[in-house]
């Protein structure tokens, strides 16, 4: 981010300005010192030679023609004999990262072996020696290890066997040198993935110390990433499924190698799985929070309740592994809803209606997670079909559309004067600094007929006090009652994100068709509808529509949205 963009963000962020002022006055605590890339519990592996388990040589002949590779947000075409794939310029940095990770391999299980041989040798020629570049970032190296080892187990090891094994073995020290640890408040889920790469590599190549180091990270990071309910603390449903996959992958590897930690990993996988039935609504998995570029959501469908394990990632496993995994999945008891709610996820089922609310326990969005400004914006399905949805996010970034889709401005929530429910968060804001704003934590309550949310996040704005949102379900009708306390004139925006295009009935009402249902949305003020994108995977979108009631009001304000479904 350039200096101009930083100054603009500073001008727009009074909370950050206040923190900087207090820092100049030395009235904020000093950051806890840490050593980058070295978690305090970490014992680096000693230098060790690879003694790999049996891996067959890939049988391949030279490819012909072209091959189209699925990458985050699109496709990349490569011609036989053209070895510039890893040197091209791409619009999205995630495209190049995915190529370095060989992320297309699991998505193309029937790819001609000649292409794998050619592209692996091309990668080794240009990037096979560890360096400080993007090809050897620890997360990318860990993903590459898993993808190449999984392919080799099914089809054979590409390249010259001795050379490929040396290259793979070099991934161990390269990952250790660049572990993605940046202190307690700057470390995200990447460190756990680093552990997965070390663990998988160490087991397969007989590098015991590397496997031990990876397991240490997996265990310690599980304690940090998964609070009592077992839900990923980073506020993304897709990332929760992704890390369920990662830990299940490590459990299966432990089982293949008769490791003593297999029992621990199986129990951990069950903790993560116990959350999933509550996150998946009748119409599918709501994509609340970021969507990972590493795996399309549909590719993980076998991990969902009743999912077909012959498809996607689970379809790449052996029949015995699928059966073992299915027994674990189907034998897992869902976590208690009260425990899950305490960690910020509220699931409600009311006749034909089902809804999922994400309520960050502290209100403030986690600065190192994958959550969005979605407080007060549930995903709601009716009669087993998504009706009001979270739009997800199609790309990463701090500006433009990437930033927009992480903001409250595209979510089905309530905004005052265009602001998000809580201020933007930073990893260096300490609890005392946040508490000084007097915003408190949201208060949520569920009962048999609905859900109520209260918070004082907008009280940072002059004249605004607490707000309350209430969703009441009654048969085939839903009423959303809003109250904003305070004084003075303010702009209030209430928004719903629809899966289908609405038709205008009047200035204050719209109609949408949902399968066999006619859904009428009414409001106490004018409603507008505008097209927007909703994301089905990283970089892949389908049409959606934002329905908005926006007007200037004098506080205190109360307003109502009504949604009534009738059989068409």
Write out pLDDT tens, residues 214-224.
999 999 999 99
Residue 312 DSSP symbol:
H
Whole-angstrom Cα distance, residue 279 to residue 244? Answer: 13
If asked whether residues 370 and 225 sit together in one domain, one would say no
Do the domain assignments include residue 339? no
Query: Range with the lowest mean pLDDT among 5-9, 102-106, 481-485?
Result: 5-9
Provide φ and ψ at 4, rounded to 5°: -65, -45
Residue 2: what pLDDT? 63
Residue 31: what pLDDT? 80
Do the domain assignments include residue 14? no
Comparing 113 with 5, the larger pLDDT belongs to: 113
If asked whether residues 90 and 227 sit together in one domain, one would say yes
Residue 476: what pLDDT? 98
Whole-angstrom Cα distance, residue 525 to residue 322? Answer: 54
CATH value at residue 228: 1.50.10.100
Comparing 185 with 155, the larger pLDDT belongs to: 155
If asked whether residues 355 and 464 sit together in one domain, one would say yes
Do the domain assignments include residue 24? no
If asked whether residues 224 and 353 sit together in one domain, one would say no
If asked whether residues 319 and 359 sit together in one domain, one would say no
Do the domain assignments include residue 31? no
Residue 362: what pLDDT? 94
Do the domain assignments include residue 53? no
- Kindly report, residue by residue over 281-291, the tens digit of the pLDDT: 999 999 999 99
Residue 1: what pLDDT? 59
If asked whether residues 314 and 364 sit together in one domain, one would say no
- Kindly report, residue by residue over 289-334, the tens digit of the pLDDT: 999 999 999 999 999 999 999 999 999 999 999 999 999 999 999 9
DSSP alpha helices (H): ranges in 79-112? 93-101
Give the mean model confidence (pLDDT) for residues 396-413: 96
Residue 69: what pLDDT? 97
If asked whether residues 395 and 532 sit together in one domain, one would say yes
Residue 47: what pLDDT? 82
Q: How confident is the model at residue 557 (pLDDT cuts 50, 70, 90)?
A: very high
Is the predicted pLDDT of residue 136 greater than 80, yes or no?
yes
Mean pLDDT for the chain overall: 95
Domain boundary among 330, 364, 381: 330
Provide φ and ψ at 87, rounded to 5°: -110, -5
CATH value at residue 435: 2.70.98.70
Whole-angstrom Cα distance, residue 182 to residue 35? Answer: 7
Q: How confident is the model at residue 456 (pLDDT cuts 50, 70, 90)?
A: very high
If asked whether residues 361 and 230 sit together in one domain, one would say no
Q: Please provide the DSSP assignment of 440-508 as one string.
A: ---EEEEETTEEEEEE-GGGGSTTEEEEEEEEEEETTEEEEEEEEEEEEEEEEEEEEEESS--EEEETT
Residue 12: what pLDDT? 74
Do the domain assignments include residue 29? no
Do the domain assignments include residue 39? no
Do the domain assignments include residue 426? yes
391 close to 411: Cβ distance less than 8 angstroms: yes
If asked whether residues 362 and 285 sit together in one domain, one would say no
Residue 229: what pLDDT? 98
Q: How confident is the model at residue 30 (pLDDT cuts 50, 70, 90)?
A: confident
What Cα–Cα distance (Å) separates residue 166 from each residue in 85, 173, 471?
23, 12, 59
Residue 70: what pLDDT? 97
If asked whether residues 367 and 300 sit together in one domain, one would say no
Helix axes 262-273, 237-256, angle to 10 degrees: 160
Q: How confident is the model at residue 7 (pLDDT cuts 50, 70, 90)?
A: low
Is the predicted pLDDT of residue 51 greater than 90, yes or no?
no
Three-state secondary-structure class, residue 521 = strand
Is the predicted pLDDT of residue 405 greater than 90, yes or no?
yes
If asked whether residues 316 and 354 sit together in one domain, one would say no
34 close to 187: Cβ distance less than 8 angstroms: no
> What is the C-alpha R_g of the chain?
25
Domain boundary among 330, 360, 387: 330
- Kindly report, residue by residue over 228-272, the tens digit of the pLDDT: 999 999 999 999 999 999 999 999 999 999 999 999 999 999 999
Comparing 339 with 431, the larger pLDDT belongs to: 339
45 close to 169: Cβ distance less than 8 angstroms: no
Residue 70 DSSP symbol:
E
If asked whether residues 295 and 380 sit together in one domain, one would say no
For CA atoms 307, 310, 312, 318, the dihedral sign is: positive
Is the predicted pLDDT of residue 5 greater than 70, yes or no?
no
For CA atoms 5, 9, 11, 12, the dihedral sign is: positive
Domain boundary among 275, 307, 330: 330
Give the mean model confidence (pLDDT) for residues 183-205: 96
> Can you give the residue range of the structural domain that contains 103?
66-330
pLDDT > 90: what percent of the chain? 89
309 close to 326: Cβ distance less than 8 angstroms: yes
Give the mean model confidence (pLDDT) for residues 83-94: 93
What total of structural domains would you count in the chain?
A: 2
Is the predicted pLDDT of residue 3 greater than 80, yes or no?
no
Is the predicted pLDDT of residue 37 greater than 90, yes or no?
yes
pLDDT > 70: what percent of the chain? 99
99 close to 140: Cβ distance less than 8 angstroms: no
């Amino acid at each position: 981010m350039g200096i101009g963009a930083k100054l603009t963000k500073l001008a727009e962020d009074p909370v950050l300005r206040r923190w900087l002022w207090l820092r100049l006055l030395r009235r904020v605590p000093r950051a806890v010192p840490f050593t980058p890339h070295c978690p305090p519990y970490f014992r680096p592996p000693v230098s060790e030679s690879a003694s790999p388990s049996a891996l067959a040589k890939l049988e391949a002949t030279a490819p012909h023609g072209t091959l189209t590779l699925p990458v985050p947000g699109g496709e990349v075409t490569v011609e036989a004999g053209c070895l510039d794939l890893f040197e091209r310029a791409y619009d999205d940095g995630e495209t190049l990262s995915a190529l370095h990770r060989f992320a297309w391999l699991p998505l193309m299980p029937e790819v001609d072996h000649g292409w794998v041989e050619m592209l692996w040798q091309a990668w080794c020629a240009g990037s096979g020696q560890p360096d400080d570049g993007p090809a050897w970032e620890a997360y990318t190296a860990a993903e590459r290890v898993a993808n190449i080892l999984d392919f080799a187990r099914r089809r054979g090891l590409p390249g010259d066997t001795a050379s490929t094994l040396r290259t793979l073995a070099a991934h161990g020290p390269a990952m250790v040198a660049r572990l993605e640890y940046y202190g307690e408040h700057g470390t995200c889920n990447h460190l756990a993935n680093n552990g997965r790469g070390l663990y998988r590599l160490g087991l397969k190549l007989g590098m015991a110390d590397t496997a031990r180091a990876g397991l240490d990270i997996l265990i310690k990071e599980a304690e940090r990433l998964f609070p009592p309910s077992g839900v990923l603390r980073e506020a993304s449903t897709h990332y929760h499924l992704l890390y369920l996959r990662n830990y299940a992958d490590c459990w299966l590897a432990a089982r293949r190698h008769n490791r003593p930690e297999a029992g621990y990993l199986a129990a951990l996988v069950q903790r993560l799985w116990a959350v999933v039935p509550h996150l998946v609504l009748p119409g599918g998995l709501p994509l609340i929070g970021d969507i990972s570029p590493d795996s399309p959501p549909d590719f993980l469908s076998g991990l969902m309740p009743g999912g077909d394990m012959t498809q996607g990632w689970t379809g790449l496993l052996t029949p015995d592994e699928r059966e073992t995994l299915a027994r674990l999945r189907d034998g897992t008891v869902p976590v208690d809803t009260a425990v899950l709610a305490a960690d910020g996820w509220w699931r409600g089922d009311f006749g034909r209606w089902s809804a999922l609310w994400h309520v960050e326990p502290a209100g403030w969005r986690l600065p190192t997670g994958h959550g969005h400004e979605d407080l007060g914006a549930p995903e709601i399905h009716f009669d087993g079909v998504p009706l009001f949805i979270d739009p997800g996010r199609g790309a990463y970034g701090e500006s433009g559309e990437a930033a927009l889709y992480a903001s409250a401005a595209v979510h089905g929530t309530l905004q005052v004067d265009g602001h998000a429910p809580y201020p933007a968060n930073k990893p260096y804001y300490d609890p005392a600094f946040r508490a000084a704003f007097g915003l408190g934590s949201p208060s949520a309550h569920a009962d048999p007929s609905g859900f109520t949310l209260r918070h004082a996040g907008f009280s940072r704005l002059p004249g605004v006090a607490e707000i309350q949102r209430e969703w009441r379900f009654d048969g085939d009708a839903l009423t959303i009652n809003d109250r904003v306390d305070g004084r003075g004139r303010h702009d209030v925006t209430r928004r719903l994100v629809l899966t289908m295009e609405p038709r205008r009935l009047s200035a204050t009402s719209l109609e949408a068709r949902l399968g066999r249902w006619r859904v009428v949305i009414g409001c106490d003020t004018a409603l507008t509808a505008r097209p927007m994108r909703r994301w089905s995977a990283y970089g892949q979108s389908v049409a959606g529509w934002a329905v908005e009631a926006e007007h200037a009001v004098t506080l205190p304000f109360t307003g109502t949205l009504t949604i009534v479904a009738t059989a068409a």
